[in-house]
Amino acid sequence: MTVSPGDIKGLHKYEILLLKTLERLMKKYLWVPEENIRKSSRLSAAEMEYRLGQLMEKNMVKSSSVPYRGYQLTFSGYDALAVTSLVRNGTVTALGSLIGVGKESSVYEALGTGALVIKLHCIGQRSFQSARLNRGFMPEWSHFPWIFASTYSARQEFEALKALRKGGANVPIPIAVNRNVVAMSYIAGVNLHQAVLEEPRAVFDGIFENIKKAYELGFIHNDLSEFNVMVDGDTVWIIDWPQWIEPTHQNADDILLRDISNITTYFTKKYNIVESPEKIRDMITGKQ
Ligand SMILES: Nc1ncnc2c1ncn2[C@@H]1O[C@H](COP(=O)(O)OP(=O)(O)O)[C@@H](O)[C@H]1O
Ligand SMILES: [Mg+2]
């Protein structure tokens, strides 16, 4: 699901108030009763009715009439709250076009202090299961695993970007995280799978230098491939970090090897560079 920048810019202050009220009350109710929304938002019944209708037209809220009239935020409603907060606190001054849609995220160009992207994480029920095993936070969101999972995913990515950037790895600069949305610096490069490299060897080496640095900082990517590397000349960035694992993870060696093999296979096919993934793994882990 993707947000409409126009709909977000056009939100009335009472609509934002209602989105926030719903967000708060959804910790308690699966469908938030009309009466509770009215009391908590302090809007008149008529105003509330009208504004909820507007929000439903924008697909930011949905309603149920059984067993009583109640309302919920949708994914778009949650996205809208996150983006509105980033706009209000000055992180984002303009929202641009959609530049990437993956299975579990949408990425938009934006402006702030310089060129940014905002990445909206949207994770469904399945991925939530494993996240829940790892951490025990947010039990109050148990009705809404998608809110939990997407917020969790955004925080994981932000945490990785912060540590990696500080440690000198080439990743986007993390700027802010709000709910399920991460703001980071815009990379003026192209995805590796779309690039025609003049110096493939330099890029190949650059990728593994960064993966080694990340490993030493405590991060294994866990979804590394030509789709999650960006390049400009022979400068390399590794992107898309929410699913990282620690080197102490019980399957760390296999996962690291899979990450490496995805890259070596790609370089063998496209640029005829042949290197042993196991040797690269030993170089990265320091185990000879
Ligand atoms: N910081 C960034 N700068 C420029 N483009 C980006 C940036 N982050 C992501 N993108 C673009 O958006 C696409 C999707 O982002 P990514 O983080 O890989 O999410 P996912 O693959 O999970 O949807 C990327 O392949 C890339 O083209
Ligand atoms: Mg990706």
Indicate the SS3 state at residue 123: coil
Give the Cα separation of 80 and 8 in Å (integer).
6
Q: At what angle do helices 45-57 and 13-25 cross, to 10 degrees?
A: 90
Nearest to 208 by CA among 248, 247, 264, 165: 264
- In the chain, the amino acid numbered 48 is M
Range in 15-19, 87-91, 131-135 with the lowest mean pLDDT: 131-135
Dihedral sign from CA coordinates of 48, 50, 51, 52: positive
Angstrom distances, CA of residue 229 to CA of 74, 137, 186, 224, 258: 32, 31, 14, 8, 15
Q: How confident is the model at residue 130 (pLDDT cuts 50, 70, 90)?
A: low
Instruction: Give the model confidence (pLDDT) of 151-172 as tens digits.
Output: 999 999 999 999 999 999 999 9
Dihedral sign from CA coordinates of 280, 266, 117, 86: negative
Which of the ligands is closest to the CA of residue 232? 1
Residue with CA at minimum distance from ligand 1 atom 12: 100
Protein residues whose CB sits closer than 6 Å to any atom of ligand 1: 99-100, 102, 104-105, 107, 117, 119, 172, 184, 186-187, 191, 227-228, 239-240
pLDDT value at 131 more than 60: no
Percent of residues, the chain, with pLDDT higher than 90: 84
Produce one character per residue of 101-134: b if its CB has 16 or more CB atoms within 10 Å, e if not. eeebbbbbbbebeeebbbbbbbbeeebbeebbee
Residue with CA at minimum distance from ligand 1 atom 17: 240
- 240 C-alpha to ligand 1 centroid (Å): 6
pLDDT value at 133 more than 50: no
Just list the catalytic residues. Answer: 223
- 254 C-alpha to ligand 1 centroid (Å): 25
- In the chain, the amino acid numbered 235 is T
Q: What angle do CA 40, 148, 23 make, to 5 degrees?
A: 15
Q: How confident is the model at residue 6 (pLDDT cuts 50, 70, 90)?
A: confident
- 38 C-alpha to ligand 2 centroid (Å): 41
**Which atom of ligand 1 approaches the CA of 106 most closely?**
23
Task: Give the distance, in angstroms, between the CA of residue 96 and the centroid of all CA atoms in the same chain.
Answer: 17
Q: Mutate which of 158, 240, 241 to test ligand 1's pocket (most atoms within 8 Å of Cβ)?
A: 240
Give the Cα separation of 138 and 154 in Å (integer).
14
Main-chain dihedrals φ then ψ at residue 171, nearest 5 degrees: -135, 165
Residue with CA at minimum distance from ligand 1 atom 21: 102
Q: What is the pTM of this model?
A: 0.93
**CB-side neighbour CA atoms (13 Å) of 16:** 15
Instruction: Give the model confidence (pLDDT) of 28-46 as tens digits.
Output: 999 999 999 999 999 999 9
DSSP state, residue 140: G
- Identify the structural domains of the chain with CATH numbers, from first to last: 1-186 (3.30.200.20), 190-285 (1.10.510.10)
Which residues on neighbouring strands pair with residue 229, listed in sequence order? 238
pLDDT value at 125 more than 80: no
- 166 C-alpha to ligand 1 centroid (Å): 20
**Which atom of ligand 1 approaches the CA of 239 most closely?**
17
pLDDT value at 19 more than 60: yes
- Note residues around ion ligand 2 (Cβ under 5 angstroms): 228, 240
